[in-house]
Amino acid sequence: MASGRRTGIIGVRRRRPSPDGPGRGRRPAIRHLKILAPYLWKYRLALLAGFACMLLQNYGYVRVPEFFKRTLDEITGANRAGVVLENLLWAGLVMVLTGGAMFLMRNLIIGASRKIEYELRERLYGRLLALDFTFYQANQTGDLMSRCTNDLNEVRTLLGPGVMYVPNALTRFLFFMPVLFALSGPLMLMVCGMLVVLILLIVVVLPRLRPMYRRIQETLASINNQVWQVIAGIQTVKLYTMEDTELERFETLNRGYVRHQMRVATLRGFIWPFFIFLLGVVELVILVVGGGQVIRGEMTLGELLQFNVMVGYLTFPVLSLGWIMSLVQQGLAALERLNYILEYPVEPQAGLQTVADGGLAFSVRGLRYRYPAGGEDVLRGVDLDIAPGQTVGITGMVASGKSTLLHVLCGLLRPEPGMVRLNGTDLTALQPDDVYGQIAVVPQETFLFSRTVARNIALGADAADPAGVQAAAVQAGLDKDIQTFPHAYDEMVGERGITLSGGQKQRVAIARALWRDRPVLFFDDALSSVDAATESAILESLRGLRQRKTLVVVSHRISALKASDVIHVMDAGRIVESGTHEELLARQGLYFRMARLQQMELALAGGVNEH
Ligand SMILES: Nc1ncnc2c1ncn2[C@@H]1O[C@H](COP(=O)(O)OP(=O)(O)OP(=O)(O)O)[C@@H](O)[C@H]1O
Ligand SMILES: [Mg+2]
């Protein structure tokens, strides 16, 4: 089947961005700034007040050297102590006010950036929850974590210092130029010429850092991913003595990270001393040229001091321009990586229908499915009907597509239109949340949260429901186990459920599905880790629900399927046999062979002949 047909599989009609960041190297990063626009607008008052303080602060920086000039000219001229003192007092007062304005400017602008960071983090988290299952199959956990932490921080720095220092440097230049020109036109032109050269250097050299920063962030994401995988899979790492190979893998990544950082450090190591040297030359020029003007009587000593102090005040903004540029570059690269998540298409729910009332009937026709990662079709023309209240068994070879089929039926994986219908409506036209709301799934692999057992059963509930939770646990054959825990239902389940046994974890998942009381129950090999006695006890208790619920049981165990109204046997993405237990045995096909094999295994284990 051509991969072109696959557009509908994940229900996406739009092009999905690449995980490296959208439009890498093609579209200007400035485009990504637009996601910040609404936030900047929201905090416009704080930002405007911050900018007003910035103007006040720079006005202060213009006035202070003026008082210095008057003081020195008074000392070298009439030398009246009163005038000297008055000017020094003014200088002091203006310095205090300038400091106050700077404090407010920082508070307002940096404060706004922190609030925007908070809102962006919330939006990112919300987006992560809204994105569908296929997104997580295409992206690695560590990388996503890195985007939500490191990259978010870079964006915050772009918004705080970035937004503050760029206009600050500009306004300072604008405020200073006329005053410097009035003090000495030729000197000002010389100094400005040199500063312009410096700025041009910064503007030319620093954008080269942007791809380097992106590589640094990407490598950091890979490192995070590596650490995450080792921590999550520490048991496997230890059991298979993978420490050395994992360390080697980590070292390669770590070396790459340091190499990228060193490249940046080398470039910066060259840039900074060069800048400092140029600033030293600027000082020298002021002394040589300005000193000459003072000797020739074209300038007073006070004016030279004023000029020199003002150029000193320009030094920080000019020097920080380099830092700000790299911070902006880093911020833009990070923004691009955040935007990958924020712009990743989410299935629109608006305009989609809700499931029609009255039981849930599934009708599957010619269902084909291929995972977005590519490869072969995993389902190759499945036809299946499930009537409300029916108990359906699904079995078959490993990797024959049983779990994939369940995931498609419950809406987690999206089929193409026309292949799956629920109560007559096409699955792709139904609101995913509404479909999930009808079906309780016990997945093949249980995931437990680091919460209490009760909270793990009553997932998504705001308030505790001890009676309901216990009833579900009793039905799942878990209550007896829970009673042996020191804190019973309030026992904390370790991270990812490491404090529970495999069978206990599975039964927590079953209790979770039962507590939800949804009309349809999917069991994906959900009884594989429990013994035969527990299995039959659970199935017995479920039989009590059969009048009301549709039950789809995927299992390799014939004993779990026997009582089904109909059993489908899958092989290589197709249903190859269907019928009741007896009909299938009579066919003497795959099901019969599976049953015979299990019968022999039971006999060997000294078990009772069940068939
Ligand atoms: N996320 C995925 N991306 C790509 N291929 C996948 C993915 N998940 C499963 N597959 C492939 O789909 C095929 C069917 O897998 P599936 O999990 O549906 O089999 P199964 O019948 O449930 O097997 P089992 O009995 O072992 O649980 C397998 O070949 C598997 O490699
Ligand atoms: Mg499976």
Ligand 1 atom at minimal distance to the Cα of residue 400: 21
Ligand 1 atom at minimal distance to the Cα of residue 401: 18
Q: Rounded mean pLDDT of 522-551? A: 78
Q: Which ligand has its closest atom nearest to the C-alpha of 378?
A: 1
Residue 63 has pLDDT above 50, yes or no: yes
pLDDT for 21? 45
How far is ligand 1, taken at its centre, from the CA of residue 373, in Å?
12
Contact call for residues 538 and 476 (beta carbons, < 8 A):
yes
**Distance of alpha carbon 608 from alpha carbon 611, whole angstroms:** 9
pLDDT for 545? 63
Residue 583 has pLDDT above 90, yes or no: yes
Residue nearest to atom 28 of ligand 1 (CA): 399
Q: Rounded mean pLDDT of 548-573? A: 89
Question: pLDDT tens for residues 239-278?
Answer: 888 888 889 999 999 999 999 999 888 887 887 788 788 8
Consecutive H or E run containing 44: helix 44-76
Pairwise pLDDT comparison (407 vs 492), residue with the higher score: 407
Q: Is the dihedral of CA 313, 316, 318, 321 positive or negative?
A: negative
Ligand 1 atom at minimal distance to the Cα of residue 444: 27
382 lines ligand 1 (CB under 6 A): no
Q: What ranges in 206-242 are assigned the alpha helix state H? A: 209-232, 234-239
Q: Rounded mean pLDDT of 468-489? A: 88
In sequence order, the β-bridge partners of residue 422 are 362, 425
Alpha carbon distance, N-terminus to C-terminus of the chain: 41
What letter would DSSP give residue 16? P
Tell me the fold of 360-438+518-528+551-611.
Rossmann fold (3.40.50)
β-pairing verdict for 420-422 and 362-369: antiparallel
Give the model's confidence band at 502: pLDDT under 50 very low, under 70 low, under 90 confident, else very high.
confident
137 lines ligand 1 (CB under 6 A): yes
The strand order across the sheet containing 574-579 reads 439-442, 520-524, 550-554, 391-396, 566-571, 574-579
**Distance of alpha carbon 301 from alpha carbon 295, whole angstroms:** 9
How far is ligand 2, taken at its centre, from the CA of residue 444, in Å?
6
Question: pLDDT tens for residues 38-54?
Answer: 999 999 999 999 999 99
Ligand 1 atom at minimal distance to the Cα of residue 137: 1
How far is ligand 2, taken at its centre, from the CA of residue 514, in Å?
20
Question: pLDDT tens for residues 64-109?
Answer: 999 999 999 999 988 898 999 999 999 999 999 999 999 999 999 9
539 lines ligand 1 (CB under 6 A): no
Q: Which of 376, 378, 382 has the most ligand 1 atoms within 8 A of CB, as the residue to mutate?
A: 378
Q: Which ligand has its closest atom nearest to the C-alpha of 397?
A: 1
pLDDT for 610? 46
Q: Which of 134, 377, 402 has the most ligand 1 atoms within 8 A of CB, as the residue to mutate?
A: 402
Ligand 1 atom at minimal distance to the Cα of residue 556: 25
Q: Rounded mean pLDDT of 571-585? A: 93
Residue nearest to atom 18 of ligand 1 (CA): 401
Give the model's confidence band at 14: pLDDT under 50 very low, under 70 low, under 90 confident, else very high.
very low
How far is ligand 1, taken at its centre, from the CA of residue 574, in Å?
13
**Distance of alpha carbon 336 from alpha carbon 214, whole angstroms:** 9
Q: Which of 379, 404, 552, 561 has the most ligand 1 atoms within 8 A of CB, as the residue to mutate?
A: 404
Please, which residues have CB within 8 angstroms of residue 82's CB and are 6 or more apart in sequence? none
**Residue 571 backbone dihedrals phi, psi, to 5 degrees:** -150, 125
**Distance of alpha carbon 216 from alpha carbon 256, whole angstroms:** 9
Q: What's the whole-number average pLDDT of the chain? A: 84
Q: Rounded mean pLDDT of 550-564? A: 88
Give the model's confidence band at 10: pLDDT under 50 very low, under 70 low, under 90 confident, else very high.
very low
Question: pLDDT tens for residues 164-204?
Answer: 888 898 899 899 999 999 999 989 999 888 888 877 877 77
Question: pLDDT tens for residues 503-533?
Answer: 888 899 999 988 888 889 899 988 887 777 7
Q: Is the dihedral of CA 327, 329, 331, 334 positive or negative?
A: negative
Q: Which ligand has its closest atom nearest to the C-alpha of 572?
A: 1
How far is ligand 2, taken at its centre, from the CA of residue 254, in Å?
36
**Distance of alpha carbon 251 from alpha carbon 230, whole angstroms:** 14
Cβ burial of 509 (10 Å; 0-12, 13-18, 19+) is: buried
374 lines ligand 1 (CB under 6 A): no
Ligand 1 atom at minimal distance to the Cα of residue 398: 25
Residue 117 has pLDDT above 80, yes or no: yes
401 lines ligand 1 (CB under 6 A): yes
pLDDT for 17? 53
Q: Which ligand has its closest atom nearest to the C-alpha of 398?
A: 1
Residue span(s) of the chain under CATH 3.40.50.300 come to 360-438+518-528+551-611, 440-517
Residue whose tokens read 């705001």: 462
How far is ligand 1, taken at its centre, from the CA of residue 378, in Å?
7
Class assignment of domain 27-342? Answer: mainly alpha
Give the model's confidence band at 476: pLDDT under 50 very low, under 70 low, under 90 confident, else very high.
confident
404 lines ligand 1 (CB under 6 A): yes
Q: How far is CA 493 from CA 98, 477, 485, 508, 530, in A?
A: 56, 18, 11, 11, 19
**Distance of alpha carbon 247 from alpha carbon 515, whole angstroms:** 44
Ligand 1 atom at minimal distance to the Cα of residue 405: 18
How far is ligand 2, taken at its centre, from the CA of residue 361, in Å?
23
Q: Is the dihedral of CA 298, 299, 301, 307 positive or negative?
A: negative
528 lines ligand 1 (CB under 6 A): no
Q: Which ligand has its closest atom nearest to the C-alpha of 442?
A: 2
Residue nearest to atom 30 of ligand 1 (CA): 399
Q: Rounded mean pLDDT of 422-440? A: 87
Superfamily of domain 440-517: P-loop containing nucleotide triphosphate hydrolases (3.40.50.300)
3-state secondary structure 297-337: CCCCHHHHHHHHHHHHHHHHHHHHHHHHHHHHHHHHHHHHH
3-state secondary structure 156-179: HHHHHHHHHHHHHHHHHHHHHHHH
**Distance of alpha carbon 268 from alpha carbon 464, whole angstroms:** 57
How far is ligand 2, taken at its centre, from the CA of residue 141, in Å?
22
pLDDT for 293? 93
How far is ligand 2, taken at its centre, from the CA of residue 572, in Å?
13
Cβ burial of 47 (10 Å; 0-12, 13-18, 19+) is: buried
Q: Two tokens at 298? A: 């074209």
Q: Two tokens at 42? A: 């929201």
**Residue 554 backbone dihedrals phi, psi, to 5 degrees:** -95, 130
How far is ligand 2, taken at its centre, from the CA of residue 413, in Å?
14
How far is ligand 2, taken at its centre, from the CA of residue 528, in Å?
11
402 lines ligand 1 (CB under 6 A): yes
400 lines ligand 1 (CB under 6 A): yes
138 lines ligand 1 (CB under 6 A): no
Collect residues with CB below 5 Å from ion ligand 2. Answer: 402-403, 444
398 lines ligand 1 (CB under 6 A): yes
